[in-house]
Amino acid sequence: MGLDNKERDMTPYDMSRKPIKQFPPLLLLLWGAAFALTPGLKKNKIRMEGLEPPFLVYSTHQGFSDYYIVPRMLFPQRANYVSDMEGFAAFGNEAYRAGGCIGKRRYVPDVSVMLNIRYALKELKQTVVILPESRHCDAGITSPLPDNLGKLAKFLDVPLVVIYSHGCYLANPFWDEDRRRNVRMESTAELLYTREELRNASAEEVQRRVEEKLQYDEYAWQKENGIKINFAERAEGLHLPLYKCKACGTKGKMRSGGADLWCEKCENRWTLTEDGDLVDFDSGETCNIPEWYRQERRQVEDEIAKGTYKNLDITVKVDALPNEKGFVPMGSGRLRFSREGFYLSIDEEQKKTENYEPLFFSIRKLESLQTEYNYRKRGKCIVLSTKDCCYYVYSEDEAFIVTELEFATERYHALSLQAVRDKNKN
């Protein structure tokens, strides 16, 4: 099935529809693909001997390889997978459901999803897999994790397994996912809590242990294992997460190509070595990709604290994904962003009524932001979702720096939650 909703059917996807077990023919295909696409995978299993379904799995999510690694780590057991709506459009609703997928819109709380997870565990007796980072990692380090993972595990009341992998990001970095590097991968499946152990642990303790297990730094792992990446164009796309020049501080003027990253404003240049370091072309000083990325985050947080962070108000193009039938082009619109959240106006909707109100996405509900660096070959976009529809928002405006928007969203969200806590104390 294509990704274009030719009927322009805006009927929301029925999230309440119960999940089903993976069909055996599709399961065989999935396992075949998993083994074929993860050759040489080093597998480790801790306390997994004799563990039978159902159990809950939390897995790291570095990139597309995780979709193959997790089924291979669970083999020969089958599972249900919590998945974004795009998969239903890409593969077709019935086929995706038959593959065991449970639909969800990212960063949108939905009781139906919770009920479907519980149904799969309790009624179908199936293991359920959740990738709590909810997006591929930008710079080889763990994305922010939800703070309710411990509570969720205790609520579901089944054994808890964590799967943590290495090499996925290095082989297919999010900023250049179309081209694969020759990097070995390894994965560990570990029983973190039996059902009895989980019942005796506090939600806070479970949360802490899960967060510890799901932490990774792929560049540190690369160094520790002496891995060299001699792919000639290994830096292509790196300017997307590293959008702010480390030398002059200019945003949006970074560019990349071959093994180099440079700033168009000050012309400073860095080379990405086979060991994963960035070396300044002139001074020879070495810097670290995750630390550059963290520094950008800190600078956004500092701007917000000082009140100097610039709000966004730009022209955009919008595609809607209401259901499994695919994307509906909505035409142009306007995107505004501030500490209250995102306002999205869509020209096509405005034509229908004089009283049209822009869509509002409250920062209090947005724990993070789904970002894409070159989605469907159309360029950078962010995804804003309601319970009924996902809106894929594109722009050519130079102020549309999706990595920075991700940082700002997460910081504003944290501040909004802190404000609520402070108010409740008083």
Question: Distance between terminal CA atoms of the chain?
Answer: 55
Amino acid 169: pLDDT: 96
Would strands 127-130 and 79-84 be described as parallel, antiparallel, or unpaired? Answer: parallel
Amino acid 422: pLDDT: 80
Do residues 370 and 107 lie in contact, with contact meaning Cβ atoms separated by under 8 Å? yes
Q: Mean pLDDT by 10-residue block, N- to C-terminus, for the chain (426 residues)?
A: 78 93 92 92 94 97 92 95 91 91 92 95 97 92 94 97 97 93 95 97 98 97 96 96 97 97 97 97 94 98 96 96 94 96 88 80 94 92 95 96 97 92 79
Residue owning tokens 């999803």? 113
Domain boundaries, the chain: 24-224, 231-273+277-308, 312-425
- 3-state DSSP helix/strand/coil % of the chain, to nearest 5: 35, 25, 40
Rounded CA-CA distance 411/419 in Å is 12
Q: Is the peptide bond before 290 cis (omega within 30 degrees of 0)?
A: no
Residue type, 3: L
Amino acid 338: pLDDT: 96
Would strands 341-346 and 326-338 be described as parallel, antiparallel, or unpaired? Answer: antiparallel
CATH number for domain 312-425, candidates 3.20.20.210, 3.60.15.10, 2.60.120.10, 2.30.29.30: 2.30.29.30
Distances (CA, A) of 105 to 2, 91, 95, 120, 333: 20, 16, 19, 18, 22
CATH number for domain 24-224, candidates 3.30.9.90, 3.40.1130.10, 3.40.50.1820, 3.20.20.70: 3.40.1130.10
Q: Count of alpha carbons within 13 Å of 320, Cβ hemisphere only?
A: 27
Amino acid 115: pLDDT: 95
Question: Can you spell out the DSSP letters for 396-425?
Answer: --TT--HHHHHHHHHHHHHHHHHHHHHHHH
Amino acid 2: pLDDT: 52
